[in-house]
Each structure stands twice: as structure tokens, then as C-alpha cells.
Amino acid sequence: MQYHFRYCLLLVFILLGIYRSKAQLCADSLCGTAACICSADRSPAGIMISHVHEKKQWMLSYRYMNMYMNELQSGTTSIARSKVYQYYQAAPIDMQMNMHMLMGMYGFNDKFSLMGMLNYTVWDMNMDMASATSSVHNHSDTGPHKMHSSGIGDAGIQALYEAITYNNHHLILNGGLNLPLGNTEVKGAVKDLMYSNTVYPYAMQQGSGTTDMQAGVNYLWQKGRGSFGSQFNALIRTGKNNAGYSPGNELNLNNWLAWQWLKPLSSSVRINLLHSEKIKGSNPSLPLYDEPSGNPSNYGGNKIMCYAGLVFQSKNKALNHYRLAVEYGLPAYENLNGIQLKTQQALSCSCSVLF
């Protein structure tokens, strides 16, 4: 039933886009020119890099991202919580991420822009302890258990360079750093059942604790009503953090198609392939077999997500500089290292203003 609802939502996004107008599009000079493609940016809400800015142009944007995970999986096989209790004292039920991000961009010249990002993330995880499922369990101090962590995450800074602009083709190179502002030793509250004033598992931490390097290649094509983007991005961790570990490196590939149905409205479909590695090293304060998220080998894997999205960008002069985007995604494939919660759905919303 839950799945049914999610696929309906995905369909609504696509159908809204198919409601096409007979309006003449692209009569203005924004479409498919070598000039600033940010003025007609149809890239989906979940895409971070899609344009460079004109000289001295600023952009500010707010992004909200939500991800929901539940049901346990090992590799590509579902695994029951009762089976997890053979190895661990507790097992996760579900997990939710709510991220709020502020992003600023500035064009130093028509080819070179700088981008800065800061986020505030809230993580919530529900767990159940082994004895809660045993026949001798009454209610007592075991059973369901919640973890909650919130705070400022790592800051990102990236340089974007439009290396090639040829007819409707754009090639943008990006490179930058993630600075370890986020806490890597978030602790449970004193009243916490499992983590009373002790450090939470890796998944509940706000930062990587490592200075991370990011680099990517982004190809964009835009002509008339159509747009296409293909982008590859690598996130490389440098060294270990003060807590004794290094989160896994990540490789990300995005391919998306967008179509402008109405003057202000376009819709998109996107496929995202993510490869992430296991955690290297470990935080010695975390017991390996209390629960799966405390074990560094239960991290990373390969995931494919499919998204549908809408972008609203007015061609009205007064509103021309505002852009709203929303995108919703479902998993198509997940091959997870060790025992982990499966990603069930993801939502991104963004609003941007140019000045």
C-alpha cells in the first residue's frame, strides 16, 4: 500500500508535466544560447551543479532534502530483524534524514563561478532491542529505542569552470573541498537507553571529520524545449578524523532529461548511480556488535535511484529571477555492504534567487 502511494506520487509529477501548452516557447534569447544558462535552468532539484553565472551575478538558494529508510537488507537480500539479533543486541527499524541547506554562488567572470554550501541536518532512527522480541520480554527498559541528532554539517566550497561552450553544448568542470565543520562525536542524551552520554554510531554523526576533496565533470545540452545533463562526481576523503575513522569515498553518476512544457514549467526524469565505500578504521568508543550501525563494515554499497521532478521558473520580468524545483525519487536497485536499512524514498525541494 505504501509503495502504491509512492508510485502514484511519481505519476502525478510526470502527468503534471504532460499537461502541455500551445504557447510559443523560447522566443526569448535565454534558450540554448551560449549565454548564462542559469536563467533557464531546467536541471532537477537534486542536481547541485548545472550552470555557471555571468560576471558579478549572485545566486542564493535554499534546499530541503528528505530521505526515508526502512527494512533491513544485506547485499540485495532482505533480512528480518530476528536474524539480525543473532549477531547484534539491537536492530534499526527505520531512519529519516531532514536536511536544510543554504547555498551561495557568484560569477567571477562569465566562465568561472564560486559556490559555497552550509547545511543543518536532523537524523532520527528508531530501533528495537533483541529482548523486545523474545517471549520473556514484558516491557521493562529494553524494547524500542530512539536516536536523534541535529546540527550543522560540513561546509562545502567549489569552483566551477565552464570549459566548453559550443552551440547548445556546455561542459562544466568542478572541484572543491568539504570542510569538517560537523560534529563527529555526537552523543546520546543521559536518559538514552543504549547511548547514555556515549557516542552515537557513524550514521548519526553530523560531519565526516575529514577534509574531503570533490571533483566532477558536467555535460549539459539545452536546445528549444529539451535539456539533457550527464554528470560524474567523486568525493574523496583525505586521512582519518579525530575519532579514528574515515567515511567511505563516493562516486556519483547522474543522467537526466528535462522538457519545457509551458513557458514557466518544465519536468524532468533522472537516474542516479551511487557507489560508496565502507568506513575505513573505526571509532574505538563504539562496540562492534551492539547494533549494525555501530559496525563500520555495514556502510557503503551500490544504489540506483529514479527521480521525477518539476521546475518552475517564471518568464515574467518581476519574477524572472526566482526558480522553484521539486523532485521525488524511488530506489530501483540497492546492493548494500553488510546489514543496512534500505532507502525507500527521497525528496528534494529548492528555491533560488538571482541578483
State the cell numbers at 310. Answer: 518539476
- Among the listed ranges 102-110, 128-136, 231-239, 337-345, the one in contact with Cu ion (CB under 5 A) is 102-110
Whether residue 137 contacts residue 131, with contact meaning beta carbons closer than 8 Å, is answered with: yes
- Among the listed ranges 101-109, 126-134, 172-180, 258-266, the one in contact with Cu ion (CB under 5 A) is 101-109
Alpha-carbon distance of 323 to 314, in angstroms, equals: 7
- Among the listed ranges 58-66, 182-190, 291-299, 335-343, the one in contact with Cu ion (CB under 5 A) is 58-66
Interaction of residue 59 with Cu ion, rule CB under 5 A: yes
Work out how close the CB of 293 gets to Cu ion at its nearest, in angstroms, rounded to a whole number: 35
Q: CA neighbours within 13 Å on the CB side: how many for 342?
A: 19
Taking the least distance from each CB to Cu ion, the nearer of 111 and 342 is: 111
Alpha-carbon distance of 234 to 250, in angstroms, equals: 6
Taking the least distance from each CB to Cu ion, the nearer of 105 and 347 is: 105
- Among the listed ranges 97-105, 139-147, 215-223, 283-291, the one in contact with Cu ion (CB under 5 A) is 97-105
Window 103-132: residues binding Cu ion (CB under 5 A): 105
The Cα-based distances of 321 to 34, 265, 324 in angstroms read 19, 14, 10
Work out how close the CB of 41 gets to Cu ion at its nearest, in angstroms, rounded to a whole number: 8
Q: What is the DSSP letter of 52?
A: -
Work out how close the CB of 261 gets to Cu ion at its nearest, in angstroms, rounded to a whole number: 23
| Single-letter amino acid code for the residue at 123 | W
Taking the least distance from each CB to Cu ion, the nearer of 40 and 59 is: 59
Taking the least distance from each CB to Cu ion, the nearer of 105 and 199 is: 105
Taking the least distance from each CB to Cu ion, the nearer of 116 and 281 is: 116
Work out how close the CB of 53 gets to Cu ion at its nearest, in angstroms, rounded to a whole number: 6
Please count the other Cβ atoms lying within 10 Å of the Cβ belonging to residue 2: 8
Please count the other Cβ atoms lying within 10 Å of the Cβ belonging to residue 138: 8
Work out how close the CB of 44 gets to Cu ion at its nearest, in angstroms, rounded to a whole number: 14
Chain position carrying cell 532520527: 124
State the cell numbers at 258. Answer: 528535462
Alpha-carbon distance of 278 to 247, in angstroms, equals: 7
Alpha-carbon distance of 165 to 333, in angstroms, equals: 35
State the cell numbers at 289. Answer: 556488535
Taking the least distance from each CB to Cu ion, the nearer of 44 and 209 is: 44
Work out how close the CB of 174 gets to Cu ion at its nearest, in angstroms, rounded to a whole number: 12
State the cell numbers at 138. Answer: 514484558
Work out how close the CB of 354 gets to Cu ion at its nearest, in angstroms, rounded to a whole number: 7
Window 201-230: residues binding Cu ion (CB under 5 A): none
Cβ burial of 6 (10 Å; 0-12, 13-18, 19+) is middle
Q: Where are the extended beta strands (E) located within the chain? A: 58-75, 77-78, 90-107, 112-129, 145-152, 155-166, 169-179, 211-223, 226-238, 245-246, 250-260, 265-276, 280-281, 301-313, 322-354
Taking the least distance from each CB to Cu ion, the nearer of 105 and 346 is: 105
| Single-letter amino acid code for the residue at 251 | L
- Among the listed ranges 4-12, 100-108, 288-296, 301-309, the one in contact with Cu ion (CB under 5 A) is 100-108
Work out how close the CB of 326 gets to Cu ion at its nearest, in angstroms, rounded to a whole number: 18
State the cell numbers at 283. Answer: 571509532
- Among the listed ranges 53-61, 88-96, 137-145, 165-173, the one in contact with Cu ion (CB under 5 A) is 53-61
- Among the listed ranges 99-107, 171-179, 230-238, 275-283, the one in contact with Cu ion (CB under 5 A) is 99-107
Taking the least distance from each CB to Cu ion, the nearer of 105 and 147 is: 105
Work out how close the CB of 51 gets to Cu ion at its nearest, in angstroms, rounded to a whole number: 6
Taking the least distance from each CB to Cu ion, the nearer of 160 and 341 is: 160
Q: Which residues bind Cu ion (CB under 5 A)?
A: 59, 105
